[in-house]
Structure 1
């Protein structure tokens, strides 16, 4: 088995009484696009800064191609980091900013100019080389920062909220361009983001952190459709998390639902919660039997391509239910509706 490009082994980091990273292990192969997701204080940015060398672990190792990077300063590490603020030098032109790292390394002028031109072409900024940062839009400054990171041809690029300063339309377009650049360069990307849709759309794998621990790691679709814990289920996509007790017949009795959830397979031993995503619940007038329940609509929120219904169940739970526009206008507030879902939509949670 080949050595991962990056291996994190037992990383521990404390800030006073706060544990930012709690014995975290993670491998990143060459050429992978990995997204780090988690709430504020989950350890995402601390992990990124530790790999970059701006923070030292209290315990554990950061290995690059099997080499321990302990004591190696940031500028000497075989990777680059793109900061959320972009950190452009205001007095340098676009080409000056992009060339900065190459100049520090003593790259000859002709080679430097060639690589800067190539990097600017890669991010679509040909002809912008003489402009100063204050004459650029937010999206253009983001591209300059990306070109500066890529011009050194790193095998690993760390991105801290790289699209955070852009408006929604530009975020989407730039995100896909970022993914295309990652494929073109062959570098591994590790991206910290708060935007779940961004992570799901761009990454090969998603790592979800909670309180400094890696709680789930896998391809975006697998993590979204089969969350492992209550936190992942509710954090990623806002699934309904329903508590209960096994009924002895393969289902989970949920008092707040006023019914029983029955998954497609056997309920794992000691399961006390299941997840049910809003888009997997349908309005089915007259439905009865397994995996059905009636409730009263408390709120209706139009979201463009669908509506979100908040449905109060007999036991007090409020289910988030997605209603597609193609199915017609949703019932109004106060309506009693019959809900139904497939057994495959019921996901047992392990923690």
Structure 2
């Protein structure tokens, strides 16, 4: 029998005037799971986090934590911690007192507070910094204090609103690994809101993609990336190329805008059916025009733009049919210069048929 969800969102809706921030959303979070909420501005990510925390009230639907309906419970009465992008540390309190603040409000005994604070700071390598003030810490150190301040109360669920957003790129990656290790060590459920796709894919057990207040797809990162269910997910996550075509009698799909024929993995669509296919840019190979292969999943074109990004080259290729495809190549030898004719080719398995 499956374990009862740690958090269950049932048909939750929330409006702000004429705007539907959430529209009948359903979502479960398992005990000890790290879930990332991903979506564009206005998708409902932060609203959902605030509803779970108790800072907003749903217009309809239920939010249950360990089977208990949270309706009417104020934030401080919920077994939930929250970490904000701004850290929200008390500037006049030391590191020790910031971490101890919530425990003191709960009436925890002094020896237990001292023990829990020492344990929390040790988890993130901040031993010996108990008397420092927030302004004496780096951005990464302040983020760690904000994290363990919430975790010191040992909540079942920790909510994180863009927790790494204020850090520079190098520190974000390092702090992200530390955050993931901390989540595994504590066993608490984490729900993180982020705009950073790489962050969501690298840290979370599952990623929930929201659009217009609705849950579009929720899957493990690899499934979500390799097998997007909709056009929105395919384009939003990783910038897949979208190819439109119509199935022929042999099951192959003709794509006039690209000037190619697609051969699909799995069952062939019925003849005459309109088909939308996503192809990830890194699954496409780029060859000189003189080496152009023939057959399905091949296209001819002109290399229009080229950008070097260290570990990869990003190329824009205008195909013979007029559509521009994005291609990501390993950052080794440089591709041909813009203006050259090129050939594109990819395997059947790179073609992902979209449901909508």
Please, what TM-score do these two structures have when normalized by structure 1? 0.97
The offset of 1:259, in angstroms, is 1.7
Unaligned runs of 5+ in 2: none
Counterparts of 1:1-351 in structure 2 under 5 Å? 1=1, 2-268=3-269, 270-284=273-287, 285-326=291-332, 328-351=333-356
The offset of 1:130, in angstroms, is 0.6
SS at match of 2:32: coil
**Cα distance in 2 between the residues matched to 1:248 and 1:211:** 38
SS at match of 1:272: strand
**Cα distance in 2 between the residues matched to 1:23 and 1:226:** 25
Asked if the contact 1:268–1:348 (Cα under 8 Å) also holds between the matched residues in 2, the reply is no
The offset of 1:267, in angstroms, is 4.2
SS at match of 2:149: helix
**Cα distance in 1 between the residues matched to 2:36 and 2:283:** 25
Unaligned runs of 5+ in 1: none
**Cα distance in 2 between the residues matched to 1:92 and 1:302:** 46
The offset of 1:271, in angstroms, is 4.8
Asked if the contact 2:51–2:58 (Cα under 8 Å) also holds between the matched residues in 1, the reply is yes
* Structure 1 ranges of 4+ moved more than 6 A: none
**Cα distance in 1 between the residues matched to 2:230 and 2:249:** 22
The offset of 1:306, in angstroms, is 1.4
Q: Which has the higher mean CA deviation after the structures are superposed, 238-247 or 60-69?
A: 238-247
**Cα distance in 1 between the residues matched to 2:206 and 2:47:** 19
Aligned residues: 350
The offset of 1:329, in angstroms, is 1.5
Deviations along 1:274-296, whole A, 9 cap, x unmatched? Answer: 10011000024231111101010
The offset of 1:134, in angstroms, is 1.1
**Cα distance in 1 between the residues matched to 2:46 and 2:269:** 34
**Cα distance in 1 between the residues matched to 2:226 and 2:275:** 19
SS at match of 2:76: helix
SS at match of 2:344: strand
Please, what TM-score do these two structures have when normalized by structure 2? 0.96
The offset of 1:262, in angstroms, is 1.9
**Cα distance in 2 between the residues matched to 1:73 and 1:279:** 47
The offset of 1:273, in angstroms, is 1.1
Asked if the contact 2:309–2:331 (Cα under 8 Å) also holds between the matched residues in 1, the reply is no
Asked if the contact 2:292–2:342 (Cα under 8 Å) also holds between the matched residues in 1, the reply is no
SS at match of 1:176: helix
**Cα distance in 2 between the residues matched to 1:32 and 1:275:** 29
The offset of 1:336, in angstroms, is 0.6
Asked if the contact 1:33–1:202 (Cα under 8 Å) also holds between the matched residues in 2, the reply is yes
Asked if the contact 1:271–1:348 (Cα under 8 Å) also holds between the matched residues in 2, the reply is no
SS at match of 1:87: coil
**Cα distance in 2 between the residues matched to 1:237 and 1:182:** 26
What is the RMSD of the two structures over their aligned residues, measured on CA atoms?
Answer: 1.1
SS at match of 1:164: coil
